[in-house]
Amino acid sequence: MPGQDADSLEVVEAFLEAAARMDFDRALDHLAEDVEYTNIPLLTVHGHAGVREVVEPFFEPIRENEFLILRKAVTGPVVFLERLDRHRLDHGWRELPVNSVFEVHDGKITVWRDYFDLATAATIHAGVGA
């Protein structure tokens, strides 16, 4: 289904563009109300409120983001991405390699899983408040 593949990828890319701008209201528009979001090394949350509880504190000290999509594969509603997430904080740029799996149904992301190295993620905020 090439049409469905393109639609699923467009939804995910629009979501990531809004998230990179830290426009969380717009980003949440791309998520189903009952979305399941999993940070694989950490936890799973459900719904818009759960996503906000995880992402807003992480992004609070960040000044700018770039989510670079290095590779992508789509099969129907499932989108696989290899990304390099770049975050600029007051102490400089930090990078986090991430692999993501999204499921898109009826134009909304219903499942979002991010796979990353927790030790690398911990270095992003190193120096904040120092």
Whether 65 maps to a domain, the answer reads yes
Q: 34-76, pLDDT tens digit by residue?
A: 999 999 988 999 999 999 999 998 899 999 999 999 999 999 9
| Domain span including residue 53 | 2-122
Q: 74-88, pLDDT tens digit by residue?
A: 999 999 999 999 999
Whether 48 maps to a domain, the answer reads yes
Task: Return the pLDDT at 124.
Answer: 83
User: Which CATH number belongs to the domain containing residue 43 in this structure?
Assistant: 3.10.450.50
Counted domains in the chain: 1
Whether 84 maps to a domain, the answer reads yes
Residue 108: phi and psi, rounded to 5, are -130, 145
The answer to pTM > 0.95 is no
